[in-house]
């Protein structure tokens, strides 16, 4: 289960707290997304929280929750997974 909560936002970026639970274990992540990245990657009418949920679905299909960075910006995902932006849009 993935839970995404908006922590704070300003004119440049949005910050989220993400909890991933599987069985008896859980991880916590802090994810930042620039407004430009949200505009570019989100689907029409999609809230930023939903974009981050999809980002985590993408990541969890490719690696265990323990391998996901604890703090990162959405822009770094494509460094590890070059197909990220094409897939997430």
Return the SS3 of 17.
strand
- Position 23 scores a pLDDT of 87
Percent of all residues in the chain with a pLDDT value above 70, rounded to a whole number: 100
User: Is residue 71 packed enough to be buried (19+ CB in 10 Å), middle (13-18) or exposed (0-12)?
Assistant: exposed
Give Cα separations from 78 to 1, 13, 62, 74 (angstroms).
Answer: 23, 18, 13, 8
- Position 89 scores a pLDDT of 86
- Position 76 scores a pLDDT of 97
Count of structural domains, the chain: 1
Q: Supply the pTM of this predicted model.
A: 0.94
Separation CA 23–CA 75 (nearest Å): 29
- Write out the residue range of the structural domain in which residue 56 sits: 2-88
Q: How confident is the model at residue 20 (pLDDT cuts 50, 70, 90)?
A: very high
């Amino acid at each position: 289960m993935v839970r995404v909560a908006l922590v704070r936002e300003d004119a440049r970026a949005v910050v989220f707290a993400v909890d991933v639970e599987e069985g008896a274990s859980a991880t916590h992540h802090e994810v930042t997304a620039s407004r430009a990245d949200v505009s570019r990657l989100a689907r029409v009418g999609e809230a930023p929280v939903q974009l981050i949920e999809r980002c985590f679905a993408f990541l969890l299909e490719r690696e265990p929750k323990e391998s996901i960075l604890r703090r990162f910006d959405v822009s770094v995902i494509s460094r590890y997974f070059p197909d990220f932006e094409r897939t997430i849009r």
